[in-house]
Structure 1
Amino acid sequence: MNRKKLEAMLDIEFLNIEVITQAFTHSSYVNEHREKNYSDNERLEFLGDAVLELGVSQYLFRKYPKMPEGEMTKLRAAIVCEPSLELFARRLHFGEHILLGKGEEMTGGRNRPALLADVFEAFLGALYLDKGFDTALDFLEKHVFPQIDTGAFSHGMDYKSKLQEIVQQDKNRTIEYKIVDEKGPSHNKEFVAEISINQTVFGVGVGRTKKEAEQRAAKNALDKLGK
């Protein structure tokens, strides 16, 4: 693990280097270095999961004062799920800092989604122990919460059903979704969806799947309708 590089990237100076290193230590590395007193990141992952859930819950509660409990639960689940945590870890280049055993390295462990998600949670747990909850919250405010505001997790919300309920209040109005564009290579596609109400475009959304793009388009339409 390149501690200085990590500190520079995150703009955080760690106090307890041992616990931060542990956050990036996979069990395969510990198993291959039994002669040394290394600890893997599994316990820190457990702690980081709790820190993440509390931080996200607090943010959603304050940010969306009118959002029902059920919708907050769905949105939180979309934020703390493995694909989202993997994405956070990749954006922060956490993979290059992981200490892996040779076997795990050779089988592509450094890019394994579950492993990256676990490291993200373990880092949060280590950051909490090293600097406290306020610093962990500052980290989330920089690297996680902004993506909530841009609708990155709209797939966790059923905006399509919500819009359908509103539109159906007027029996003369109809909704139509259309995928109007596809971008990027086959392994990393982005879809652009357009939603029309009575043949007038009301929203556009972009997502990694057609369903996600449609959900974001529906959210865009709801925003325009003031809902």
Structure 2
Amino acid sequence: MNLASFQRRHGLCFRDESLLRQALTHRSWPHEQDGPAGLEGNYERLEFLGDAVLAFAVTRMLYDRFPDLPEGELTRLRSALVRSETLAAVAAELELGALLRLGRGEDQNGGRQRRSILGDAFEALLGAIFVDSGQSAADDFVRTMLGPLIDDLPEADLLDPRSRLQELCQAALFATPVYETRAESGPDHQKQFTVAVCVLDEELGSGQGNSKQAAAQVAARAALEFLRREGRLPESGGE
């Protein structure tokens, strides 16, 4: 696969293709080249930029997709999406390894399959997209490549703990969770709610939030964790 077919396959269209080549150049490659090729840069600067672009793009994607998810859970989900294992898997799906320019030694030592190199190359590619086409193009690429992975993450219960709790309780306990507002405090512009969730008249968890919906999500997650610790729900989907 050459750079042209790579771009066609993944909906990319670099105006400056040298950025794409640089994003796929490991630092071991230029040292082994003669002439002008030996002066070409590697992907490290683009990787540095791409790391920041990735963090922003993923943050915005999660903020838009999950309007009721508390900050702490958004942070945990973002961490799962940007960790090296996830990025390396996406890079492998893109077949970046086959396109990398590596030094002979790095190539012979399995560099094309090395997780750290693949993850770095993905960040460099994202940095190159940002430089070439701007933040909007980078955001679109992140949504295309990482968005579909969210539901498969071990942290998937974070996405909608209320729905997950209801699904599991109905299947395992033949009961539906009931949410009760236990406390409400603070001025009108900065309310804080405490909500408890009960199943079969037993309180399983409680949570706080700046809306009843947000507090209920926190309570549902606490209930999921409690029921799993107690061995009363199957180990599936999430933790």
TM-score using structure 1 length: 0.71
Q: Does the 8 Å contact 2:28/2:106 carry over to 1?
A: yes
Distance 1:176 1:81 in 2: 25
Distance 2:25 2:88 in 1: 16
Distance 1:167 1:118 in 2: 46
Q: Which residue number corresponds to residue 223 of structure 1?
A: none
Per-residue CA distance 1:81-100 (angstroms, 9 max, x = gap):
10010011011111110000
Q: Does the 8 Å contact 1:74/1:156 carry over to 2?
A: no
SS, match of residue 26 in structure 1: coil
Distance 1:167 1:96 in 2: 53
Q: Which residue number corresponds to residue 211 of structure 2?
A: none
The gaps in structure 1 that reach 5 residues or longer are: 178-194, 198-202, 206-212, 216-227
SS, match of residue 123 in structure 2: helix
* CA apart distance, 1:171: 3.9
* CA apart distance, 1:34: 5.8
Q: Does the 8 Å contact 2:80/2:86 carry over to 1?
A: yes
Q: Which residue number corresponds to residue 16 of structure 2?
A: 16
Q: Which residue number corresponds to residue 90 of structure 1?
A: 92
Matched, 1:99 2:101: yes
Say which of 146, 149, 165 aligns to 1:147: 149
Say which of 127, 136, 139 aligns to 1:137: 139
* CA apart distance, 1:155: 3.1
More deviation, 163-172/115-124: 163-172
Q: Does the 8 Å contact 1:44/1:123 carry over to 2?
A: yes
Q: How does 1:46-65 map to 2 (within 5 A)?
A: 46-65=48-67
Query: For residues 12 and 158 of structure 1, do their structure 2 counterparts lie closer, same or farther at Cα, with a shift above 3 Å needed?
Result: closer
Q: Which residue number corresponds to residue 129 of structure 2?
A: 127
Identity over aligned pairs, percent? 33
The gaps in structure 2 that reach 5 residues or longer are: 170-195, 205-225
Amino acid in structure 2 at the alignment position of 1:54:
F
Q: How many residues align?
A: 183
Query: For residues 65 and 102 of structure 1, do their structure 2 counterparts lie closer, same or farther at Cα, with a shift above 3 Å needed?
Result: same
* CA apart distance, 1:78: 0.6
Distance 1:33 1:138 in 2: 35
SS, match of residue 28 in structure 1: coil
Per-residue CA distance 1:157-208 (angstroms, 9 max, x = gap):
679x99698567944989469xxxxxxxxxxxxxxxxx865xxxxx784xxx
Distance 2:25 2:66 in 1: 37
SS, match of residue 29 in structure 2: helix
Structure with the greater alpha carbon radius of gyration: 2
Q: How does 1:1-227 map to 2 (within 5 A)?
A: 2-33=2-33, 35=35, 36-148=38-150, 151-155=151-155, 166=197, 170-171=201-202, 175=227, 197=233, 205=236, 213-215=237-239
Distance 1:168 1:34 in 2: 71
